[in-house]
Chains A and B, each alone.
Chain A
Amino acid sequence: MERVCRKRPFVAALLVAAMAVEPVISRGQTSQPDQLRQELEGMKEQLRRVEEQMKKQEAIIQKQQAIIDKLAAGKPAAAAPAAAAPPPTPTAEADSERIKREVTEQIMRRIQPSLTAANKTFPSQFNPALGLIIDTVGSYSANHGGNFELRAAELGLSASVDPFARGYAIITGSNQGGFDVEEAAIVTTSLPYNLGLKGGRFFADFGRLSKFHDHDLPFVNRPHVLDEYVDGESQSDGVEGSWLLPISQQYVTLTAGAYNKIGADNERVNNTVPRDFSKFTYLGRVFSFLPITEANSLDLGLSGGFTPVVQEDDRARRTLGGIDLTYRYTPLSQASYRGLVWGTEALVNSEDRPIGGFPANPSPTTPLVIEHKNAVGLYSYLEARLTRRYYPGFLFEWVQDINPGVGETLAYSPYLTVWASEFQRLRLQYTRLEAPGDHDNQFFLQWTVILGSHVHSFKDR
């Protein structure tokens, strides 16, 4: 048995040496806590392997010792089964503990500088994720001439607030002047019963493309029906609750919200003055996803907005309804380079409006002639994914003006999107516009890039 004990330090030294040459710590040399955690877990795994190896070595040594002892006693040698091996002696256990301690100490010595560095930079880990989107458009119109436009430099910040909520903000600067808080909202993350709550300034859950930022749209410009009926993006100051129905067979969400107004460009309602309940805008939406096959699916949404008394007009209620339908063909094995999307939204706007619209310079002596109008409009587009880079598409639009006595607008826009990478995109679009008093041919070249953090958002899918 003494011979066995003399061999153990040698085996242990070999194992420690083997650990020392393993490229465990130095890989990456980064001070990120996640990385360190990863490395620590890797080391634990290696330590476990060393222990296993030690146990195997001990079993072999004990077997050999048994053979030697039997030979020495002049008895026929027979290999002892592993299960019959004697239990480890206190000396063996002490050796094992010593080796573990030595290996752990060596590992700790090696990772200590990285841990120290990580601790020094740790406060910055609480900083929100930052991303910047630059969206530029060069355009030429046969009727109005050409223009280069920095449409948006959009700074996005997001982070968890605590275990119960996260927050995000989108701050946009454009050549239309100054900076604007496009969104700044708090979103709950752990309400019970599948509930969610959102408060602050955000894009209300109306329809589909109303919730997209301009640079996220599948084509260059927001469809006329959304621009006119929703007044741009569905930006709203208010509160919104939603409920994911607790059924496993079907994805269905119900949303309800109350806001000062809906629409980033909606100037019919003052966003800054207090009002009574009749002058808020209320929203309801139901959305469902219908999987047809593995590759084919349908999104279906119904939205309704209601303002009992439109504040500035102070005369009548306004209702806005919409249906959105999106068909997707996404072959699972080729999802990154093949696919088809057909998206359609139809809206109805119902309110009292002056014939011909509000005059730019109203006269106090000439009363406006008001008429109720139900205006209808839609857009529909088809986009193919031919490769990872090339996405051609076609957009059709038809919109009745919300003012009585004004005609309707038609537009046809073929376009081609070219993705240089996931973070850089070029888009070429031609639009034939047939609006009341403005028949025009328009050309657009859009160049959009993403810097820094980016997210693949569920609502932008």
Chain B
Amino acid sequence: MTQTDFIVLLPVLVLAGWALVLLLVDLFVPAGRKALTGWLALVGPAGAVLALTLWPNGGALTGFGGMLAADGFAVFLHLLFLGSAALIILLALTYLPRAGIERGEFYVLLLLTVSGMLLMAQAADLIVVFLALELLSIPLYILAGFARPRLSSEESAMKYFLLGAFASGFFVYGVALTYGAAGSTNLNAIVTAAQTGLVQGAAAAQALPVARSLLVAGAALILVGLGFKVAAVPFHMWTPDVYEGAPSVVTAFMSVGAKAGGFAALLRVFVTAFPGLAPQWASLLAILAALTMIVGNFAALRQGNIKRLLAYSSIAHAGYILMALPAAGSSFAAQSDYAVGSALFYLLAYALTTLGAWAVVMAVERQEGDGLALTDYAGLAARRPGLALAMALFMFSLTGLPPTAGFIAKFSLFRAAIDAGYLWLAIVGVLTSLVSAYYYLRVVVLMFMRPGAAQALARPTLDLAVGVTALATLLIGLLPGPLLDLAQRSVLTLTR
């Protein structure tokens, strides 16, 4: 391990290492005071952010023989993952004791899944992508069942595990086919193989033609595997049940972290390794994106449970982000970079808004999974005007109304799609956004207009999380410039 390898891996090392320390420390924390473990867990993300500062500013590093990249793309996503993790820890501090499931392992597993996400953003080799995917997923399977022996939580964990394992199978099969065709699992080597048409690793004298059909089949299987993770139609079936059954704080992290992790891999793998195949996968992905937007939004219309509603909403948003992929497959570097930058920005806006919305859900949720029906939000504005206002802001942002972060993100994404020639996709996006306005605004209507006895918990950490996300949602909506620039610059150093 050279010094460069070390620096490239340092954020993950810090986080995973701290998780191990925490596992040990937790043994000595008495049962009633597990909040201490939670507060200590915050050191992990903070340390990882510090480790990020060691990365060269603007340039790109690779480590472990090209398996890991440390570029702007990874920095942007690292900040997203670490920030989300910190918010989730804040939320868990109040949620876990109330749900009666306060155990120190929660924080350990959370940090471990985050380290999987970090690896996902950095992985430049299909084997590392696969392992990062597992590192991301397995702790989440366990966390989904954290509210054991509540049946719905166990069911959630079981479903998530079985379908996740199934998806991993597809992914590995895809990796195997790709390796068979290209002769390497390294993303750069695969792109070279696709460009030169020669299998990598063979001696020059015995140059072998790349089995293009094998490469396409491999890419398709990888798409299926990652499609499960980001909950894209038709691989979305698990989402509502899993989201509903898992403890809310876990669901919140799933809907943000696991999705962003999946998209990190999708973007890096498809934009880096398979640009030569773009004609084959771009139109397919465009159709998937359209289907995902349509199914997610229309199914959300009928939901009466806030967790299921947000689950379908997360499917719908996966569809919006998927729009960036066909655009990113454009042969013009500028269009492609813009699309990737828009996807990153969308992920950020989506993460902030969704985390905020989940924080409100956790504030309203009562013990034992009670207080999750939409009708439990009736009259919230009268009792907790600040909380209701924040929730309204999140709903507006998810709909994509100005002046919120969601609007800028959607606008940017639609532009990327139109620019790359997918006008019809942008039209589908706009129309489904309109559909989404109906169910998002219904929450707002309930909170502000209907009489009711909605109650919500008030705790400093909860209020802090809601406040931070609400402020960020609004601020990014008003002054998107700096962050958008950052997202756009992040892409230029994506390994090519």
Determine if chain A interacts with chain B. no
